[in-house]
Chain A
Amino acid sequence: MMATLTKAFKPILGRQLGNTAKVFGAAVNSQRGKPTYPPPAKYGGRHTVTLIPGDGIGPELLNHVRELFRFSCVPVDFEVVHVNSASTSEDDINNAIMAIRRNGVALKGNVETNHTMPPNHKSRNNLLRTSLDLYANMMHCQSLPGVQTRHKNIDIIIIRENTEGEYSSLEHESVSGVVESLKIITRNNSLRIADYAFRLARDKGRRRVTAVHKANIMKLGDGLFLQCCKEVASGYPDIEFDSMIVDNTTMQLVSKPHQFDVMVMPNLYGNVVSNVCAGLVGGPGLVPGANYGRDYAVFETATRNTGKSISNRNIANPTAMLLASCLMLDHLKLHDYANMIRGAILTTMNETRLHTVDIGGQGTTSEVVQSIMRIIQSGGPLTTEI
């Protein structure tokens, strides 16, 4: 009788005990009805993941990720593809896209966009997202216990449509001095992202989804987005749905952020809201981001900064990139490794003297990474030499 009772309670207990896993964006039940999972690039039990170093702090942080993975004996091999942001040809980014198609998963730094180049030179990051149809950008903003911020205990998931909206790159100058930029909203993509948001909310046991829009002004465009969200909401009666206008949203975020649970929105508002939330929990160095498509997944830092001013000075905060790599490990179903690394990162975060400059400390990147490796080593599993 006790045995059966324990068995019945085990899933509940397991869920509570597996807090780190649940809390930090693990196991986003990415099956979504897909039969083949994890991605097929798996040889001899080792996964192959495309690595795009990018510019600024990307290369150094990704080196740390590789170092950490090698140390912890994570069965992941990286295929490095460089993308030169200065070159005008699209060969580099096309190679990267092909590599990602081959491997199914990527970890990337931000590729800088020189905005003084002519309009036909599109943002490399944007090209990657649209070519691979990575339609959902997910960012889980959580206050980390060791970090001092003005607002505490924030826990918001932001889902941002990643391929259309204002980022369609469709612009023209019809008359000299008058430029038109098109914002495209389609029913299919809006339904798709709304469905992703509700499914995610359900999988993670979240109770409310808020759609962020500006439909009072952009009646047709954002009106369509809102309507699609409402339609999808009706299929999820267990999850509350409400909507809020984007300017009110930002105002509420800085005064009462705890009212938000899961938020879904088109591309540009997603950019604004995700940056505001990242700032609320402590800055760009702490939050990982994930871009999911039907067939591919690309992981990066949530706010996609190049960090040129702090590159190669050993002061960048590796937390965001390391947590992104943990999200990637979860995606590859290597949950044990993900939880181990994540736990080590959180323990390190509690040490104020190891905080990097962006969160008010004086630690260096390598000190943080060393500390994480030490914690992993003391945790017991087989590791290589530090």
Chain B
Amino acid sequence: MGAIKTQSPQPRTFSRGIQTVTLIPGDGIGPEISTAVMKIFEAAKAPIQWEERNVTAIKGPGGRWMIPPEAKESMDKSKIGLKGPLKTPIAAGHPSMNLLLRKTFDLYANVRPCVSIEGYKTPYTDVDLVTIRENTEGEYSGIEHLIVDGVVQSIKLITEEASRRIAEYAFEYARNNQRASVTAVHKANIMRMSDGLFLRKCREVAENYKDVKFTEMYLDTVCLNMVQDPSQFDVLVMPNLYGDILSDLCAGLIGGLGVTPSGNIGANGVAIFESVHGTAPDIAGKDLANPTALLLSAVMMLRHMGLHGHANKIETACFDTIREKKVLTKDLGGNSKCSEFTADICRRVQDMD
């Protein structure tokens, strides 16, 4: 869960060493878990200044849906965002907010580090891998046609540019986080041209990163081996659909979406870290939510910004609290409230100083 070497020449927003982060609380349990994270950061004395913004879509000039200009401005300035779960509107007429954010900031890489959490027991105890998923094209291009009645075609788009970009990101990540190998996941035996192109680009980029081992593996072999022995995998890079399935598979190995962090990296140095679980409207407002996913994503964000000290402190406090099993929220098997869980982590963080 680590930093990437930022390639953007623009300096971060800086004032007395405090960095601004755009916070998007989201819907449902979003606001409570965001508050929890802010409290913990305050207790840890992290040099972060939060700017809360709402991203509900509005119709801009020309009739195109877009995110509110204040939100966009804030993100462009701060370059770093932390997002809670967003409700997917069914009949609101506009596309999903996540899709809108992705398009607005060209978030091309979705990074999900999956590490087994000591204290939250699952049948898999030795998971330590990172899935890096191409987030803009592939099977999710949304290009579908009805050819004749009863025959539908969906187009999977793979471009050289996007494949090269994601491969480069994957190798940079591996190098900056001292990961030993990168594995490209593909199905080039069946989708010869498309996955073949993806694979070729990965191989080309691998040439420039000789310090990182590069392997290729079929998607089905990865799935097969993942459920038998996940410890053999390190960094996985893949196109959109495989990434979607595999990243959720890996999240399932460590305990589900409630404890999995996630980060989206965009062009121009933008990075938005988010919790990937749903809005859980049934427990919203009842102080029952589990802030772990958002907290671990925030830790990922700190590492991305280079604030490793604070990141380690908060992460250790969080894992210690989970390991102690005294104040766990309901989904982790306990009976406590969100505020109690948060308070425990805050206490531990403060004790560490």
| Interface positions of A from 71 to 101, Cβ below 8 Å from B | none
Complex alpha-carbon distance, A343 and B155, angstroms: 47
A279 (CB) vs chain B CBs: closest residue: B227
Q: Are B193 and A172 in contact (CB under 8 A)?
A: yes
A-B contact count (CB 8 A): 172
Complex alpha-carbon distance, A255 and B254, angstroms: 9
B148 (CB) vs chain A CBs: closest residue: A186
Among B139, B142, B188: residue with most chain A CB under 10 A: B139
Interface string of A254-281 (1 = CB under 8 A from B): 1100000000000011011011101110
Complex alpha-carbon distance, A117 and B188, angstroms: 10
Complex alpha-carbon distance, A276 and B241, angstroms: 16
Interface string of B287-325 (1 = CB under 8 A from A): 000000000000000000000000000000000000000
B255 / chain A contacts, CB cutoff of 8 Å: 255
Q: Are B249 and A186 in contact (CB under 8 A)?
A: no
Q: Are B152 and A181 in contact (CB under 8 A)?
A: no
- A sample of 14 more A-B contacts (CB under 8 A), given A182-B154, A217-B142, A283-B224, is A166-B139, A169-B192, A173-B193, A179-B157, A180-B194, A181-B155, A183-B155, A187-B150, A247-B244, A250-B248, A251-B249, A251-B256, A275-B221, A279-B226
CB distance from B139 to the nearest CB of A (A): 7
One of B70-78, B158-166, B339-347 contacting the partner: B158-166
Q: Are B155 and A305 in contact (CB under 8 A)?
A: no
CB distance from A150 to the nearest CB of B (A): 4
Interface string of A170-200 (1 = CB under 8 A from B): 0111000111111111111000000000000
Interface string of A199-228 (1 = CB under 8 A from B): 000000000000000100111110110000
**Known A187-B151, A217-B142, A224-B152: A255·B252 in contact at CB below 8 Å:** yes
Q: Which one of A185, A188, A254 lies within 8 Å of B124 (CB-CB)?
A: A254
B191 contacts partner chain A, Cβ-Cβ < 8 Å: yes
B96 (CB) vs chain A CBs: closest residue: A216
B251 contacts partner chain A, Cβ-Cβ < 8 Å: yes
A288 contacts partner chain B, Cβ-Cβ < 8 Å: no
B residues neighboring A (CB under 8 Å): 122-124, 139-140, 142, 144-146, 149-161, 187-194, 196-197, 199, 219-221, 223-228, 241, 244-249, 251-253, 255-257
Closest 7 CB pairs of A and B: A251-B252, A279-B227, A187-B150, A177-B160, A247-B248, A150-B123, A220-B144
A250 / chain B contacts, CB cutoff of 8 Å: 223, 245-246, 248-249, 252
Q: Are B190 and A177 in contact (CB under 8 A)?
A: no
**Known A179-B158, A279-B228: A185·B152 in contact at CB below 8 Å:** yes
Q: Which one of A169, A173, A221 lies within 8 Å of B152 (CB-CB)?
A: A221
Complex alpha-carbon distance, A132 and B349, angstroms: 65
Q: Which one of B144, B188, B192, B256 lies within 8 Å of A218 (CB-CB)?
A: B144
B139 / chain A contacts, CB cutoff of 8 Å: 166, 183, 217-218
Complex alpha-carbon distance, A220 and B191, angstroms: 21
A104 contacts partner chain B, Cβ-Cβ < 8 Å: no
Q: Could you pull out 13 A-B pairs where Cβ atoms are within 8 angstroms?
A: A115-B199, A171-B194, A181-B156, A184-B151, A186-B150, A217-B140, A218-B144, A220-B146, A221-B152, A275-B223, A275-B224, A279-B223, A280-B227
Complex alpha-carbon distance, A229 and B193, angstroms: 31
A123 contacts partner chain B, Cβ-Cβ < 8 Å: yes
Complex alpha-carbon distance, A115 and B216, angstroms: 12
A151 / chain B contacts, CB cutoff of 8 Å: 123
Q: Are B152 and A220 in contact (CB under 8 A)?
A: yes
B157 / chain A contacts, CB cutoff of 8 Å: 178-180
Complex alpha-carbon distance, A121 and B189, angstroms: 10
| Interface positions of A from 114 to 145, Cβ below 8 Å from B | 115, 117-119, 121, 123, 126
A219 (CB) vs chain B CBs: closest residue: B144
A24 contacts partner chain B, Cβ-Cβ < 8 Å: no
Q: Are A271 and B219 in contact (CB under 8 A)?
A: yes
A223 / chain B contacts, CB cutoff of 8 Å: 152
A317 contacts partner chain B, Cβ-Cβ < 8 Å: no
Complex alpha-carbon distance, A247 and B247, angstroms: 8
Q: Are A123 and B189 in contact (CB under 8 A)?
A: yes
A253 contacts partner chain B, Cβ-Cβ < 8 Å: yes
CB distance from A182 to the nearest CB of B (A): 5
A29 contacts partner chain B, Cβ-Cβ < 8 Å: no
Q: Are A272 and B220 in contact (CB under 8 A)?
A: yes
A359 (CB) vs chain B CBs: closest residue: B228
Complex alpha-carbon distance, A182 and B257, angstroms: 31
Q: Are A166 and B191 in contact (CB under 8 A)?
A: yes
**Known A219-B144, A271-B219, A278-B224: A182·B153 in contact at CB below 8 Å:** yes
Q: Are B249 and A181 in contact (CB under 8 A)?
A: no
Q: Are B159 and A178 in contact (CB under 8 A)?
A: yes
A118 / chain B contacts, CB cutoff of 8 Å: 192
CB distance from B193 to the nearest CB of A (A): 4
A252 / chain B contacts, CB cutoff of 8 Å: 252
A48 contacts partner chain B, Cβ-Cβ < 8 Å: no
Complex alpha-carbon distance, A183 and B244, angstroms: 17
Q: Which one of B151, B161, B226 lies within 8 Å of A186 (CB-CB)?
A: B151
Q: Are A167 and B190 in contact (CB under 8 A)?
A: yes
CB distance from A169 to the nearest CB of B (A): 7
Complex alpha-carbon distance, A122 and B241, angstroms: 22
B159 / chain A contacts, CB cutoff of 8 Å: 177-179
CB distance from A334 to the nearest CB of B (A): 31
Complex alpha-carbon distance, A271 and B221, angstroms: 10
A182 / chain B contacts, CB cutoff of 8 Å: 153-156
Complex alpha-carbon distance, A71 and B270, angstroms: 68
Among B159, B189, B224, B244: residue with most chain A CB under 10 A: B224
Q: Are A181 and B193 in contact (CB under 8 A)?
A: yes
Complex alpha-carbon distance, A247 and B191, angstroms: 21
Q: Which one of B149, B153, B219, B249 lies within 8 Å of A254 (CB-CB)?
A: B249
B228 / chain A contacts, CB cutoff of 8 Å: 279, 283
